[in-house]
Amino acid sequence: MAHSIAIVGLGKIARDQHLPSISKNPDFELAAIVSRNAELEGVDHFTSLDQMLAARPDIKSVALCTPPQVRRQYAEAAIRARRHVLLEKPPGATVAEVDWLKNLAAEHGVALFATWHSRYAQGVEPARRFLADKTIHSVDIVWREDVRRWHPGQDWIWEPGGMGVFDPGINALSILTHILPAPVLVTGAVLEVPANRQTPIAAEIDFASVTGHPVTADFDWRQEGPQTWDITVRIDAGLLELSAGGAVLRIDGQTQLAADDTEYDGIYAHFASLLAGGESDVDISPLQLVADASMLGEIRKVEAFIE
């Protein structure tokens, strides 16, 4: 029987990705929407999560598609009501709250899934397998996009906890921490924060792998025209390149794979398997790197950002 699931927060990502992936997956049935402002025709609607949890005990899972600043409160309420929880990325506004939620879910016997959608880009898993036994010399990430195009009218990204350019940048870090055989540590960062905002519009980060090789990341939200989501890994005898956010994989200049975007289909397939096995999947390592870059980072004030 399909799992009844509710979406909490009917914004851009819920409409663009969660609704289509849920409707395609026979393991799930969309049973309710929790939204302060929006409704979906033909689907039960609640303006608060607490109302939904009380009225629909048959709904055993929720997908939290809100901004990160309010994720912990919603997740805590759902877990205490013994519902399984899927968290959009980033899984929270702090590292400690996500770790705490993981323990809370275990205490209540429910599954917690901290999703990292970029890990389901089709080039990522083959890249991880390819790199598993290689000696890596360096990694360079360039993640440059146009904030006006991808985040129109989203004030929360500029507020404390919204993470600014780390909101897309953490997707690159979720791939990095998945494909490298050893952990990386932040060694320095420069964060460019618009004069009228609280969060960075650009960031340069230096990392060192515990195995010794350098990693750099260049995140920028001011790129108009073609968008860049590239990770280049130099190895002993060649080069591995992931581009288009992980959908395209090249090794030594030869294209191995250029796939369609099926990231959220992969997320819901994995959630179904977690529910079947009664397991959680919570990896905080990308969020930890953002926290560390924010702790170590030199702040440079730059031109005000006017949308």
Point out the residues that are catalytic.
89
With CB under 6 A as the contact rule, the residue among 25, 66, 199, 280 that binds ligand NAP is 66
Q: Work out how close the CB of 71 gets to ligand NAP at its nearest, in angstroms, rounded to a whole number.
A: 7
123 binds ligand NAP (CB under 6 A): no
Long-range CB pairs of 53-59 (<8 Å, 24+ gap) are 53/77, 53/78, 53/81, 53/83, 56/4, 56/6, 56/31, 56/32, 58/4, 58/31, 59/4, 59/5, 59/6, 59/31, 59/32, 59/83
Residue 234 host element (H or E): strand 228-235
Q: Work out how close the CB of 39 gets to ligand NAP at its nearest, in angstroms, rounded to a whole number.
A: 9
At residue 111's C-alpha, the angle toward residues 264 and 275, to 5°, is 65
Beta carbon nearer to ligand NAP, 89 or 213? 89
Contacts of 29 (CB under 8 A, 6+ apart): 2, 3, 4, 5, 22
Beta carbon nearer to ligand NAP, 23 or 48? 48
Residue 53 host element (H or E): helix 49-55
Contacts of 123 (CB under 8 A, 6+ apart): 242, 246, 247, 248, 249, 256, 257, 259
- Write the binding mask 134 to 153 for ligand NAP: x where contact by CB under 6 A, - elsewhere: ----------------x---
Beta carbon nearer to ligand NAP, 120 or 136? 120
Contacts of 221 (CB under 8 A, 6+ apart): 144, 145, 146, 147, 164, 165, 168, 201, 202
Q: Work out how close the CB of 70 gets to ligand NAP at its nearest, in angstroms, rounded to a whole number.
A: 4
Site for ligand NAP in 77-96 (CB under 6 A): 88-89
> What CA–CA distance (Å, rounded) separates 135 from 5?
43
Beta carbon nearer to ligand NAP, 9 or 200? 9
Q: Which residue is nearest to ligand NAP (CB)?
A: 11
Beta carbon nearer to ligand NAP, 37 or 254? 37
114 binds ligand NAP (CB under 6 A): no
230 binds ligand NAP (CB under 6 A): no
- Write the binding mask 26 to 55 for ligand NAP: x where contact by CB under 6 A, - elsewhere: ---------xxxx-----------------
Contacts of 103 (CB under 8 A, 6+ apart): none
With CB under 6 A as the contact rule, the residue among 3, 5, 6, 13 that binds ligand NAP is 13
Q: Work out how close the CB of 11 gets to ligand NAP at its nearest, in angstroms, rounded to a whole number.
A: 2
Please give the residue ranges that form the binding site for ligand NAP (CB under 6 A): 9-14, 35-38, 65-68, 70, 88-89, 117, 150, 154, 156, 167
